[in-house]
Structure 1
C-alpha cells in the first residue's frame, strides 16, 4: 500500500486515494474527473458499512439531496448518528458515478454499531455527524477543520501535551501559504479550480503531500479513535484489492490519506479493532437541510455557505454573473428596486475586489461586499435576507418511499399525504379552521405529534379571530425530527396508537396535579378518546389527594380550557366537567385561609392564581356548584370574603375588589369607599401600595379605570402626596411597577389629569347616570350621524328609527 498512485500508464501500484473536504464543490468536481480518468473497479467511501444496501437508493428519481444516512440504536432510537451528504459532497458524487457506471460502491469507515456504542459509553445521547470527519462519539465542533478529518486545535492556554495537540489542518496550510482565513485559502486553491485544468489527480497528490507532512508533525492529532477508524479502513481496502483487479478508488477525508497510505500489518490493524463495544443498529436515508449543513446548526458539517457552494457546483460557467442574477431576483421579489445595471455593476465590483485582494476569482466575500455596496445601498438588512435565503438556503432534501422506515414513520407519511401537509425546511404559518374536516385533521396530527415529542409545529397566537374554532401553527421540519419519530416508534405503529400509549404512560408518571390537567387538555386537543378514561381516573385520584390550594388553582384553568376545546371538537366532556366543578369547589373552600399571612412573593403568586381561577370560572359560566347555587355565585362570595379580611395581603384584597367591580357585583361607590379606607392614614404605606397594585396594577387595564373615574384617581393622588417622606422610598418600587405597566398613552393622560388638579380636570361628570365619565343617556344627535354606517355594517334594512333603537340597545 506504500506505492504512490500513478495516473495513466496502467493500473497504479496502490489504491487511488482521493483526499477531500467532505462538503466542497471543488473536491466534488475533482473526484468526478479523477474517477472518469482512472475508471476503478470499485469505489470505497468513508462512511458506515451498514449503509451498503442503501447505496442503490441514491439512483432513485425521488432521491434529492441534501440527505443523510441515519443510524440509530434499535433498543434506544434516541441514540443516533448522521452522515449528511449534499449534491456537492464528494462522497455523493462518488456514489452517483459508481451507480451510473455500474461499478460497486462500498462504505469503509468504522461500523455504526461501534460508533453508537462509543457514544453510549460516554453518556452522550446522540452522535452527530461522524461522517463529517470528526471522531466517532464526539460532537462536531464549528471551525474545527473536521472537513479534512482532523480534530480541533487547542486554544491559547491549553496545556495539552505535544503528542495530543489538536490541529486544524486547513488553518495550518492556509497560514503556511500566507492566508489568515482558511476558508479563503481553500476557495482559492480548490473550489475555484476548474475541471480540466491539467492532471485530474494533481490536486489530490498535492493535498496528500501536505497532509503527510502534517501527520508526521502532529501524529494522530491527539485522538486515538482516528487510529481505530483508519485501521478499519485499511482492512477494507485490502479486502477490496484482493477482490477487484481493475483498481480501487478511495474517497475519504484528506487527513486520513497518509494513514491509509502507510504500511501496517493486518495483525496490528485487527488488534486495534479487538474488543470494541457494540450496539444493534438500524440505518436509513432521511431528508436533510441546507441549514443543517451549515456550522451554525450545531451539526458541524463545516461549511458556512451551503447555498453558495451548491451554486458553485451547479453553475456550468460564469458563476459570479449567475449568482448576482439570483440575488437580484430575490431582492426584486422583496419589492426592492434592482435593475440589470445593478447586476452588471455588482459583477464588475466583485471582480475588482478579487483583483485588489490577489484572488484568482471572486469568492463569497467579494460577491457579498459587492451586493452590499451596489444592490443593498450599504445596508446589512437586505444583505441578511440574501445570506439567509441564498448563501445558506432553505433546501429540504427528499428520500424515496422505498427507503427503510419504522412503521410509525410510514403512517406519518401517509397522513401527511392525505392532509396535504408537506414537510418543509422553511418556517411557515398555518391557519386552521377547525370547522373544516381537513383543518381539524391537521390539528389532531400536530397535537398528537407534540404529545409524542415530535415538535414539527408550535402553536402561535392567532392574528384574526380568537374563537376556539381557530388555531395558528408555526411549522418547520428539522432533520432530527426523523430521530424523534424513530424514538416514538416504541409507543406504537401508528400515530394514533403511539400518542394514546404515550398519554397513558405520561399520566401514570405525572408528579404534579397541573401536569395531569395539562395532559387532559392535550388529549382533548389531540382527540385521544381512548386515553382520556385513564387520564381522567388519574386526574380524579390526584385531585382528591392534593391539598395544596396553589396546585388546585393552577390545575383548574387547564381543565376549563379542555371543556371549551372539547365543545368545539364535539367531544364528550361530561366527566371532565364534573371533575372541574369539584376542583373549583375545593379551591373556593381552601383559598381564603391559604391567602392569610403570606409574604410579598407568595402573595404575588397567589394573586396570579386568583386571576387564573377567575378566568376559569368566567368560562364555566353559570354551571351548578356541588350542593347548591352556581359556581359564579360561589366565587363571588369567596372574593367578598377576601376583600374583608385584614390578614389577607393588600395585593390580593385589591385584586378581589377589582374583579368584583369588573363583574358588576360591586358598585362604583362601594369600590371608592373600600379604596378610601385602605388609603387612610391608619394603613401602613406598604400595605396601601400593595392594595393599589392589586386593584389597578399589571395588565388589568387599571390605568383606564383611573382615567375615567375621577374619584379613584383623586384618592390615589391624595394618598400618594400624603405618604411620609421616610416611607416613600419603601413604596416607590411597588408603585413604579404598578404604573410602568400602563400603555404610554394612558400614562400621559394620567399625568395631564394630575397636573390639572382636582375640580379642573374636566374629564368626567357624575351627573345623571351616576357612572363617572358617562352621560345620563344616549346622545341621539350624535348617534344620527353614524346611523347610515351602522345600518350598512349590521345589514339593517329598516328606517332610521329602528336603527336608532338597535343602537340604543347596543349602547345599553
Structure 2
C-alpha cells in the first residue's frame, strides 16, 4: 500500500460514525493519503451489482439501498446514504480512482430471513451507546456535542489523516473489552461475516485494502480469530431470495430515529458542514437570513454579523473549538428572531432538517410497477416531492382527471402518496384537493403492490377484484365500488358488483343496508362527473334502496333504546341524502311514504319521528299546518317528556326553522312550561345538547324572540311576521344565477 502516512501494518480500518460529515471528510483524507488498492464498506453484498450506478450523473443523494424478500416485499430493509455519509464518500472515491469497491456486511438474504424488521436490536432490553459512553468519559453530558468537538470540528489542515481513526479505534477497543457486544448480539454474526470478506480481500490484494465501517466494529475486525470459528457462527443461518434497488431518500427521513430513519437530528446542518469549503457558520447564518427575509422578516447584514459574533462568544465560553448547531441556533433566536421560537421552528424545519429528496437514474433496477409509476408521474407532470403540498384538481380538465385517477389507484393499492382533503374553494363534485408527500417507505409499498401487476391500472384492478372476493361485510364492498369508480377501474366493476349483489341479497340488517347506500350514491355521483359508465351500479343501488324502504319502518318500531334510536336517526338522514342523488321519481315517492309512516307512528322513537317530519317539511311534502299538528301531538301532556324532548331534537336540528316559524317555537315554549319539575331535570341534558348545537346567531335570535314575547299567531295558512303571504317568483329567480355560480364554480 503506497502513501506517506505512518501507520500500523495490516489493512486500513476506518471506523466512522454513519452520516457524519467530519467522518466523511476524514475518510476522504485518509484514502487520499494511503491510496488503497480496494475499498470494503459496511453494507449488504447484494448491493455490489448496483454500486456502479453511484457514479451515474442521475444519482443524487440522499438515496438508499433497498433490499426486500422477493416473495414478500413487505419484509424490507434500507441502507440510507447521504452526500455527507462516509460510506458514500468512500464509494465515490473508489470509483474516481478506478479501484474495486465492495459491500461486506451480513447479506440481506440472512437478515430478512431471520428478522421481521430492519433493526432487530431495537427489541434488546440493554444496549450500549458507545458514543454516549465515550462522551461521559470525556466529561460531556451530550454525546452529540462531544462528537462535534472531537470529530466534526477537525479542521482541513490536520497533519495526520489517520490519527483520529487510530484514537477512536483504541477507545472502542476499551469499550469492547469492558462491555463485550454491548447488547448488540447480532453484531457477532455480522462481524464474523465481515472478517470472512476481509480474508477474501487479503488473498486478492494482500493488506492493501481499506475497510470503512462503524467505529464500534473496528476492534472486532482487527481481532485475530480463526476462519473456522467465524464459519461456525455463520452456519445454519436462514436465507431468503432477495431483490435490491436504489430508491430516493429524504433528509427528513434521515432525521427520524425510529422505523427506517437514521436518527440524524440535523441532516440539513450536516449537509451544509460537509459542503461548505470554509467559514461554515458565516455561510449558514447567511442562509438563515435569506430564509427569514423570504418570510417578510426584517433581517439585515448587521444581524448576520452580530449573530456570528454571538455564536463564537458562546462557543468560547463553553470551551468549544468552534460554534456548533446549539450555539448557532441560540444566536439566531436572540439576534434574528427577537427571542421567539416561532421563526426558529421554521429554520429548524427548513434548514436544520430540510426537504431534500434524492434521485435515482432512469436505468436503475426497479420493479416493473415502479417503472410504470415513474413513467406516469412524468407524463402527468406530477413530481414526487418530500415536502408536503396541496394539489387542487379540476376534474373537467383531462390532465387533472388523469392525475386524480392515478392518485386514487395508488390509494387502492396501499400507496398513500396522496390523501384527499377538503377543498377550500368550490364544493362542486368536479373539484378535488389532495395533500401530497412522498415518503421513502412508499418504495416498499410499490414493491409490495407489484404482485398484483406490472402497471398501475392492471395492479389496481387485480387488487380490487381480490378485495371484493375477500370482503366480509356489505359496507366493505360498497366502499370498494366507490373507490373503483373514483379510480376509473371499469374492468374491476363487474367483479365488485357481483360481490355487492351477493352480499346485499344475504344481508338482513337494515342498519348495514342503510350504511351501504350512501357510498353507492356518491359513487354514482362521481361516476357522472368522471364520465364513468355506472349503469350496473345504479341498478344495484336502486334495489338496495327498495329493500331499505321495506325494512326500515319495522326496524324503527322495535322497542329501541335511546342509543339505538340515535343511530337509526343518523341512518335515516344518510338514506334520505342518498336517495336524493339517485335517479327515479318513483323511488323518491316511495321514500316519502316511508317518512310519512315513521312520522305518524306512536311506537317509533321521538328522535326518528321528529326527523321524519322535518325531512318531509324541507322537501315540501308536508304542509305547515300538518307539521304544527304533528308537533302538537308529540308535545301533548300525554307524551312522555323524554320522548317529546327527543322529538324536538330530531325535528329542530339546526334551529333555523324555529326562528322563522314562531308557531312552532310557541308550541315548544308551551310544552316546556308544562313539563313537571322532576321530568324537567331528566330532559334538561337532552335539551341543552339540542339547543347548544345551534349557531350563535340562531341562539341569539331565539333568545330575542322569547325575551320580547312572540308576535300574534298567524292565521292558519298565513305567513310569519316579516314574510310575504306568497312567494315572489321574480325575486326568487334573481338568486338562481348566483346560486349556480356558487355550486358549480368558475368555468374551465
Task: Name which of 622, 627, 640 aligns with 2:596.
Answer: 640
1:161 alignment partner in structure 2: none
The question of 1:58 aligning with 2:54 is answered: yes
| Cα shift readout 1:602-649 (whole Å, capped 9, x = no counterpart) | 11111111111000111115x15xxxxx11111111011111112211
Output the CA distance in 1 between the equivalents of 2:214 and 2:65: 17
Output the CA distance in 1 between the equivalents of 2:607 and 2:75: 50
1:179–1:37 Cα change, 3 Å: same
| Cα shift readout 1:341-385 (whole Å, capped 9, x = no counterpart) | 222222222222222222221111112122222222222222211
Contact 2:63–2:246 at 8 Å: present in 1 too? yes
1:791–1:441 Cα change, 3 Å: closer
The question of 1:340 aligning with 2:323 is answered: no
Task: Name which of 669, 677, 681 aligns with 1:725.
Answer: 677
Task: Name which of 248, 251, 254 aligns with 2:209.
Answer: 248
* Residues 228-627 of structure 1: pairs in structure 2 closer than 5 A: 228-245=189-206, 247-296=208-257, 298-596=259-557, 597-621=559-583, 623-624=584-585
Output the CA distance in 2 between the equivalents of 1:216 and 1:25: 28
The runs of at least 4 consecutive aligned structure 1 residues that moved more than 4 Å come to 9-12, 764-769, 777-780, 790-795
Output the CA distance in 1 between the equivalents of 2:292 and 2:183: 47
Output the CA distance in 2 between the equivalents of 1:34 and 1:742: 73
Contact 2:387–2:437 at 8 Å: present in 1 too? yes
Contact 1:19–1:207 at 8 Å: present in 2 too? yes
1:670–1:166 Cα change, 3 Å: same
Output the CA distance in 1 between the equivalents of 2:179 and 2:372: 51
Output the CA distance in 1 between the equivalents of 2:131 and 2:458: 50
Output the CA distance in 2 between the equivalents of 1:777 and 1:368: 70
* Residues 755-770 of structure 1: pairs in structure 2 closer than 5 A: 755-759=707-711, 770=719
1:296–1:643 Cα change, 3 Å: farther
Q: Give how far 1:679 is off.
A: 2.0
Q: CA RMSD in A?
A: 2.5
1:592–1:28 Cα change, 3 Å: same
1:791–1:108 Cα change, 3 Å: closer
1:749–1:531 Cα change, 3 Å: same
Q: Give how far 1:767 is off.
A: 10
- TM-score computed with the length of structure 2 as normaliser: 0.94
The question of 1:661 aligning with 2:644 is answered: no
3-state SS of paired residue (2:243):
strand
Q: Give how far 1:600 is off.
A: 1.5
| Cα shift readout 1:650-669 (whole Å, capped 9, x = no counterpart) | 11111111111111112223
2:687 alignment partner in structure 1: 735
3-state SS of paired residue (2:218):
helix
Output the CA distance in 2 between the equivalents of 1:742 and 1:202: 74
1:690 alignment partner in structure 2: 646
1:66–1:9 Cα change, 3 Å: closer
1:753 alignment partner in structure 2: 705
1:715 alignment partner in structure 2: 667
Q: Give how far 1:191 is off.
A: 1.3
3-state SS of paired residue (1:661):
helix
Output the CA distance in 1 between the equivalents of 2:29 and 2:564: 72
3-state SS of paired residue (2:65):
strand
1:754–1:343 Cα change, 3 Å: farther
**Equivalenced residues, count:** 739
- TM-score computed with the length of structure 1 as normaliser: 0.87
1:346–1:776 Cα change, 3 Å: farther
Greater shift in the superposed pair: 460-469 or 7-16: 7-16
Q: Give how far 1:735 is off.
A: 2.1
Task: Name which of 79, 83, 89 aligns with 1:83.
Answer: 79
1:769–1:338 Cα change, 3 Å: farther
1:774 alignment partner in structure 2: 723
3-state SS of paired residue (1:473):
strand
3-state SS of paired residue (2:73):
coil
Q: Give how far 1:9 is off.
A: 6.0
1:101 alignment partner in structure 2: 97
Q: Give how far 1:590 is off.
A: 0.3
Q: Give how far 1:737 is off.
A: 2.1
Output the CA distance in 2 between the equivalents of 1:235 and 1:246: 14
| Cα shift readout 1:73-93 (whole Å, capped 9, x = no counterpart) | 001111100001111111111
Contact 2:3–2:35 at 8 Å: present in 1 too? no
Provide structure 2 residue ranges, at least 5 long, that are not aligned to the other structure: 741-748
3-state SS of paired residue (1:77):
strand
Output the CA distance in 2 between the equivalents of 1:729 and 1:791: 47
Q: Give how far 1:731 is off.
A: 2.0
1:9–1:543 Cα change, 3 Å: closer
Greater shift in the superposed pair: 252-261 or 268-277: 252-261
Q: Give how far 1:218 is off.
A: 0.7
Output the CA distance in 2 between the equivalents of 1:115 and 1:207: 28
The question of 1:703 aligning with 2:655 is answered: yes
Q: Give how far 1:322 is off.
A: 1.3
1:137 alignment partner in structure 2: 120
Output the CA distance in 1 between the equivalents of 2:703 and 2:341: 40
Contact 1:12–1:247 at 8 Å: present in 2 too? no
1:791–1:544 Cα change, 3 Å: closer
Provide structure 1 residue ranges, at least 5 long, that are not aligned to the other structure: 129-135, 142-151, 155-164, 625-629, 796-812
1:680–1:378 Cα change, 3 Å: farther
Task: Name which of 11, 14, 20 aligns with 1:15.
Answer: 11
Output the CA distance in 2 between the equivalents of 1:730 and 1:330: 60
Q: Give how far 1:300 is off.
A: 3.9
1:201 alignment partner in structure 2: 162
